[in-house]
Every structure is written in C-alpha cells, then in structure tokens.
A = this chain, B = another copy of it.
Amino acid sequence: MEQIFSKLEFLTNGEGFIDITNDLKLFIEENNFHSGILNLTSLHTSCSLTINENADPNVLRDLKKYMQSIVPHNSYLTLSKNREEISYKHYQEGADDMPAHIKTSLTNTSLSLSFQEGRIMLGTWQAVYLWEHRIDRKKRIINVHIIGEKNAKYI
C-alpha cells in the first residue's frame, strides 16, 4: 500500500459546477495506481465538492437555483411561524460571501472516493463536481490524496 499527495487547480466562472471527474481519473492513471481510496479536500470555505447527475443540465441548474433560494443574499426569512427576517452579520466580503459559507456547510468540503482497476466507483449518471458558490472568478485548489496499490509493473 502506497500514498501520494498532490493539488489540482481549477478556475471557476461564477456560481455553478465544474465536472472534475476526468481530472481525478487522470491523476489516478498518471500515478499508476490500481485500487484504493482517493480522498479529496477543498481548501476553501466558499465552494463545495458534490456528487450529482451528469445527464440533464437542468438538474444542475435546479440545484443551483434551489440553493440560491434557500440561502439568499443579504437577508432571509426564517421557517418559524413569525417569518422573521434575518440579516447576515458577516457581509464585508460581499453579499454572496456568507451565503457561500452556508452553502458549503450544507454540502461537502471533502469526499472519499473508492477506485478499482483505475476506475472511480461511481454510477452511470454520477459525476464529481466542484461547486462554486461565489459570483466572482476564483482559483480553487483541491487537495488530492491516494492510499492504495499501484499497478503490478510499478511495484
């Protein structure tokens, strides 16, 4: 059993999803790993890692719209009977910043993926996404770490 650590960089383009599944496959391949765990960590508190559908693009649009709708900019209404309006105290970095922290905590910052014979164990309709929650273009770094076994000829 061996380990490898690296970082993958992505340039995001406002709120939305970047399919990183192929980048992960390449990372496994280039390092000649056969089977193991690929542990991903987003090094940021305003974007997420998530697994969701890769077929109808409306799924991603609806996901983004839903998250925007339950975590609005500036203020939100509670689900209590009185429907109080609450404003964020952390607003200095932009109206989209605190909502981005909340969206991150409602989804995932890290993901553990299993791979066997170089293939990430995902269903036919699944992809791994970097989910950007900020509206500005951002450089995002994902820490990638494998614990696993290498292909026979590389042992």
CB neighbours (8 Å) of A104 from chain B are 52
Please tell me the number of chain A residues within 8 Å of chain B, measured between CB atoms: 69
Known contacts A45-B125, A70-B79, A77-B80; 10 further A-B pairs (Cβ under 8 A): A5-B114, A42-B123, A45-B123, A50-B109, A52-B104, A58-B90, A59-B90, A69-B76, A69-B78, A77-B83
Q: Copies of this chain, how many?
A: 3
- A79 adjacent to B72 (CB under 8 Å): yes
**Within the assembled complex, what's the spacing in Å between the Cα atoms of A116 and B146?**
12
**Within the assembled complex, what's the spacing in Å between the Cα atoms of A34 and B102?**
33
**Within the assembled complex, what's the spacing in Å between the Cα atoms of A106 and B103?**
9
Write the nearest CB–CB distance from A96 to chain B, whole angstroms: 13
Write the nearest CB–CB distance from A112 to chain B, whole angstroms: 5
